[in-house]
Structure 1
């Protein structure tokens, strides 16, 4: 196991600073606008409260690993089975990343090629379809591969692919676009239905999920979330799946860091319970932007066909960075960090609720808080998001259950603790964050459009409040420097 004293992600040593300055100078010699945008991004991240639940700060080793000549290699296929020659070093990178993933999460098999979360989910969906639809059909047709099918057999197989059922958490209840939202490819792939949450408590109702599963009988039950502020009992979800012979697929992209850090264990750890688990490698896992699929042995061969089934050429430099991030996540330092993420989320929730803010489910036990800004401040999510951004607080608007303002304007704002925890924030700092959020939003009122109707994206803030909150936010983050010593 890697050394448990791995450096914190926002630290920098005396060798790294000049290297990054040189890197920006090299970029500037070719396209100075890109170099300047890069400098500006670091400045903005240093001087704002980053509360977007899906963002974090990768370590400098992770960032540096992405800038290597592995980006120059084509490597379609998988370890030992490439469509290009000269991929022995990419094989090493992919094998190391998969090894760390399996050891970290206790998985039978890891597929580390997906470029993003949606790629990971598409790979998972098609792997399940290949295992449960394509392979039985090929055996029935007496064919060795899809290419051997007659046109009539192929038409039959396509019909079977297009007639499969899936259920997942609805978008307004906290699910993700890729869990069956109609405009997303996942909603077009399957005959799909969604389960929600209890209208009174906002909590997942397992009896209702079971009722839907028994009535609809899907091939796949998708669990996991992107804006649900509570934990899920995956043992119960697996029981429901087993009762109807469905596959349990869990999307843990948001909370993978809490699983890796052993904050979620037992029934709340999806890996021992689900046949297929997908994740991103950034967010709470604090790695490079990318995706990953963990499967039981039964699905290993299917998921390894992700390229060319769904994916194109894997990104060798990003797989290398995934390996570094996963190595970091296997340390005691990361476990301590993950526990702080959850503790800080509770502190933030308490700070908000003590100041009169309504939270969906009245709290949190993961890394997410979901504010009902319409009930609390009379604002849409879009208005609140914009007002907070003016005040140096970066969040994102988000639907809440049965949202009266829809998925674009929304009634909610989602905030998370992974990024600021990486910078060293604790309970005291997050209470100050709560106070700044409330101060900014209390000073914000909707602006009436010329038609006399409320302008959903328009608002006004009391004079001086945005500047004052921004200054206090800047002072707060100044106590926890981001990459100190790195002046660009």
Structure 2
């Protein structure tokens, strides 16, 4: 990749420019299956690299602590209005730096240190910031956790209700990072109301699916929605908090001045572009194709003899338990990487192995769908995965190299949005 694509960077720092160029090549030529990753459009990339970077803007539109905000206020107000319109919410805050700070703002808005909070256990598919022990949220608050049923791999809502009524948590989180099935927001709302809890939907993974109508929305069921703006939403790395009007003041105060200083205005601009793109009919088609591809890939993987947590998927994400293949998740993930297939090793529910060396891998279809791959390609992808995992068990690097070449050929035929390479 010629460094001249970024001429100013290449002239100032050729070493770093070469790293960026190498990453462009890597993203162009590999099959990216990490469900939290995607490709942003060229428009989002441009918006994220503008002179908005140069401006400090502590506060909110019309209420800043620095002058010269005439244009910044318009950018942020546009992003807010687009978020409200796309998701149908009363209030949106687009300033959180990322998903974890957004969730911390929820704690600051509704809880006091030592309060009980409830979320899905990390090994069951939850997130660190839902009260897990090694997180600040598990240190400053008393975390209690629900999981999935061993027999189905799905959330047991009766067990969730029993735990909520026994513990009466101040906050309940629904959502997570490795949940292949539809979240029943209405069921969680009923439980939270009965327990007297604030209900927060962390939809970081599925925000784009919700925006595109490919997953039920939590709006009308929950008090607060927390989400990142990348992943399935295909925006820059940022976050949003959305809520009912009655919680707007508490949420805004928690974000600023509670946790953050000035927002990253260039990111706000990228979020505004991504929200505009997500409001287009083409994005609706994209979101539904992500789910169709995931279901097709899950079916093809089952035919290849893989064991899938919960038996399949309803969304963009598939969690594979490799115990039956005799290959640990980390070994498989590294072998797949050498084969040009990028995944992440992941714990599975009731995993006897450690999180650093788990039994599973987590895959998803947002990125490959952005490249235009469809359901007809999924049997080929499943076959590549099967060949690579079997090669990992045998230490057969020749097979991995062969798969990598086949992957590169398919990727060349389906250029990624925002990348200069085909």
Q: How does 1:30-45 map to 2 (within 5 A)?
A: 30-45=12-27
Match in the other structure for 1:92:
74
Match in the other structure for 1:262:
213
Tell me, what secondary structure is at the counterpart of 2:172?
strand
Q: Does 1:480 align with 2:386?
A: no
Aligned residues: 420
Q: For residues 110 and 469 of structure 1, what CA distance do their matches in structure 2 show? A: 45
Candidates 264, 279, 304, aligned match of 1:355: 304
Note closer, same or farther for the CA distance 1:462–1:23 as it changes in structure 2 (3 Å cut): closer
Q: For residues 354 and 63 of structure 2, what CA distance do their matches in structure 1 show? A: 47
Q: CA deviation at 1:487?
A: 5.5
Runs of 4+ in 1 over 2 A off after TM superposition: 20-23, 482-488
Tell me, what secondary structure is at the counterpart of 1:414?
strand
Q: CA deviation at 1:482?
A: 2.6
Match in the other structure for 1:456:
none
Note closer, same or farther for the CA distance 1:201–1:483 as it changes in structure 2 (3 Å cut): closer
Return the TM-score normalized by structure 1: 0.84
The answer (yes or no) to whether the contact 1:443–1:465 under 8 Å persists in 2 is yes
Q: Does 1:184 align with 2:135?
A: yes
Match in the other structure for 2:391:
443
Superposition CA RMSD, Å: 1.5
Q: For residues 484 and 299 of structure 1, what CA distance do their matches in structure 2 show? A: 37
Q: CA deviation at 1:22?
A: 5.9
The answer (yes or no) to whether the contact 1:128–1:299 under 8 Å persists in 2 is no
Tell me, what secondary structure is at the counterpart of 2:307?
coil
Q: For residues 485 and 398 of structure 1, what CA distance do their matches in structure 2 show? A: 28
Q: For residues 329 and 407 of structure 1, what CA distance do their matches in structure 2 show? A: 35
Candidates 387, 390, 395, aligned match of 1:461: 395
Match in the other structure for 1:370:
319
Q: How does 1:394-413 map to 2 (within 5 A)?
A: 394-413=342-361
Candidates 180, 196, 217, aligned match of 1:229: 180
Deviations 1:209-268 (A, max 9, x none): 000000001011100011010011100100000002111001000000110001123xxx
Candidates 70, 79, 85, aligned match of 1:103: 85
- Listed as ranges, the gaps of 5+ residues in structure 1 are 1-19, 130-160, 446-459
Q: For residues 469 and 423 of structure 1, what CA distance do their matches in structure 2 show? A: 19
Q: For residues 183 and 240 of structure 1, what CA distance do their matches in structure 2 show? A: 27
Tell me, what secondary structure is at the counterpart of 1:397?
strand
Candidates 306, 309, 334, aligned match of 2:258: 309
Q: Does 1:289 align with 2:237?
A: yes
Return the TM-score normalized by structure 2: 0.97
Deviations 1:104-150 (A, max 9, x none): 00010000001111011111221223xxxxxxxxxxxxxxxxxxxxx
Deviations 1:335-388 (A, max 9, x none): 00000000000000001000100000010000000010122x111111011010
Match in the other structure for 1:448:
none
Match in the other structure for 1:220:
171
Candidates 295, 298, 303, aligned match of 2:246: 298
Q: For residues 316 and 209 of structure 1, what CA distance do their matches in structure 2 show? A: 40
Q: Does 1:322 align with 2:304?
A: no
The answer (yes or no) to whether the contact 2:3–2:21 under 8 Å persists in 1 is no
The answer (yes or no) to whether the contact 2:119–2:172 under 8 Å persists in 1 is yes
Q: Does 1:171 align with 2:122?
A: yes
Match in the other structure for 1:132:
none
Q: Does 1:247 align with 2:229?
A: no
Tell me, what secondary structure is at the counterpart of 1:166?
strand
- Listed as ranges, the gaps of 5+ residues in structure 2 are none
Q: For residues 208 and 418 of structure 2, what CA distance do their matches in structure 1 show? A: 25
Q: For residues 482 and 85 of structure 1, what CA distance do their matches in structure 2 show? A: 40
Q: CA deviation at 1:486?
A: 3.1
Note closer, same or farther for the CA distance 1:367–1:77 as it changes in structure 2 (3 Å cut): same
The answer (yes or no) to whether the contact 2:306–2:321 under 8 Å persists in 1 is yes
Match in the other structure for 1:128:
110
Note closer, same or farther for the CA distance 1:480–1:487 as it changes in structure 2 (3 Å cut): closer
Tell me, what secondary structure is at the counterpart of 2:378?
helix
Tell me, what secondary structure is at the counterpart of 1:476?
helix
Q: How does 1:127-146 map to 2 (within 5 A)?
A: 127-129=109-111
Q: Which has the larger radius of gyration?
A: 1
Match in the other structure for 2:367:
419
Note closer, same or farther for the CA distance 1:463–1:124 as it changes in structure 2 (3 Å cut): closer
Tell me, what secondary structure is at the counterpart of 2:356?
helix
Match in the other structure for 1:154:
none
Match in the other structure for 2:286:
337
